[in-house]
Amino acid sequence: MSGFREAKLVALKAKIAALEAGGRGDCGVLPFGDVRLDDAFIKGGLPLGQWHEFVSGGMEVETCAAPAAFAALMAAPLARRGEAVWILRRDDLFAPGLVGLGFPAEKLIQVCARDEAEALAVAEDALATEGVSAVFAEVEAVDLTAGRRLQLACEARGATGFILRRRPYGGADRQATGTAAATRWRIAPAPSQPEPGMLGLGAPRWAVHLERCRAGRPGAWLMEAADAYTYEAKHGTHPLRLVAPLGDRHLAPTTPLRLAG
């Protein structure tokens, strides 16, 4: 009896997934190569052919350095496969910095949009272009309509979108009313750990919170760039390395914490 139910559930889940993909085939996943991280996703890796949202807090809302670095490393294997497009509203992205982290910046096409709507339109256009595998866009907010349009553009050719929430010129926060993103990541820089006996800074680290994940469950991890600032980049492995899982303190909604008094 239970075997029958399980089989039926699997079949139903596959049906729902097929419906969600809009009749298109699965675009595949990009595994991180670490079970602790890949287990957060049902399919065992970052789903491709969808768009992912990266948010941050504090001064990073304006500079958007940590989310950009993290997203670039997450997408580096994709960028090696095809073309990558980065849509900015303030052109302060420094290509040598990306190269140092291990992102192939020579292949990156940068576009400076004049306003928010234009940035989203360019992102949509780039996502639907053959040969483009990853599109980064720095925008203030993505509302439900824009999110849905991005999703359709992603499905057109199986490109993956990385939407970095940034207010490049400050100003008031524009809260998005909802989101159609496959995942939402909150990225904050974390103190690095120099190797014993070494001076200076260690590999860049980030406190990564997967806040929302369609077809998966949220989690929090401490991650670092596996081969930053070196010639000896190991191309086989994912350029992000999981250092340790973090406590789920920030994921309040699941287990509301109540203090006495």
Q: Which residues bind other proteins (CB under 8 A)?
A: 58-60, 63-70, 72, 82-83, 92-102, 105-114, 118, 122, 125-126, 129-132, 188-192, 194, 199-202, 204-207, 228-231, 233
Is residue 137 a contact partner of residue 102, using CB atoms and an 8 Å limit?
Answer: no
Label residue 170 left, alpha or beta by phi (over 0 means left) and psi (-120 to 50 means alpha): left
Output the smallest distance, CB 193 to other proteins, in A.
9
Nearer to other proteins, 28 or 44 (CB): 28
Output the smallest distance, CB 219 to other proteins, in A.
19
Nearer to other proteins, 44 or 202 (CB): 202
- CA dist., res. 197 & res. 22, Å (int): 54
Output the smallest distance, CB 259 to other proteins, in A.
24
Please provide residue 158's backbone torsions phi and psi, each rounded to the nearest 5 degrees. Answer: 80, 20
Output the smallest distance, CB 228 to other proteins, in A.
8
Nearer to other proteins, 116 or 118 (CB): 118
- Opening angle at CA 47, ends 249 and 57, nearest 5: 40
What amino acid is encoded at 132 in this protein? Answer: V
Nearer to other proteins, 31 or 100 (CB): 100
What amino acid is encoded at 32 in this protein? Answer: F
Nearer to other proteins, 60 or 180 (CB): 60
Hey, which residues does 221 pair with through a beta bridge? 208, 245
